[in-house]
């Protein structure tokens, strides 16, 4: 997660300093896509945890 936070911070810095509108727009889309990926990973990890702890598996 540290790497992700660092990249997001750097993108945020560039978002505020860039003078190129297309570049700023691309940065915003990049930040949002990375956050969406992180959410997807978090959800999938949660699904794995949930499945491992399912009562269906307690008898195994």
Partner 1 sequence: MKTLLIVSHPDILESGSQQYFLSSLKENVAVTLHHLESIYPNGKIDVAKEQALLKQHDRIIFQFPFYWYSSPPLLKHWQDVVLTDGFAYGNRGNALAGKEFGLILMIGIPEREYQAGGSELFSINELTKPFQAMSHKTGMKYLKPLTIYQFAYLEEEQKMDLLIQYWQKLTMEDEVSLKARETWLAAELEQAMEKAAGTQEAEIFQYAKSLIEENRMTIDGLKIVLDQMHQN
Q: Which is nearer to partner 1, 36 or 58 (CB)?
A: 36
Residue 42: φ, ψ to 5°? -60, -45
Q: How far is the CB of 55 from partner 1 (least distance, A)?
A: 15
Instruction: Tell me which residue of 6, 7, 24 sits closest to 15, measured CA to CA.
Output: 24
Q: How far is the CB of 17 from partner 1 (least distance, A)?
A: 9
Binding to partner 1 in span 1-60, by CB under 8 A: 3-4, 7, 10-11, 14, 18, 21-26, 28-30, 33-34, 36-38, 40-41, 44-45, 47-48, 51-52
| 38 contact partners, CB below 8 Å, separation of at least 6 | 1, 4
């Amino acid at each position: 997660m540290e790497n992700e936070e660092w990249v997001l911070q750097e993108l945020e810095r560039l978002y505020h300093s860039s003078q190129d509108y297309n570049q700023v727009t691309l940065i915003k889309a990049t930040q949002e896509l990375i956050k969406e990926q992180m959410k997807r990973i978090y959800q999938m990890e949660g699904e794995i945890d949930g499945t491992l702890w399912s009562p269906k598996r307690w008898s195994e």
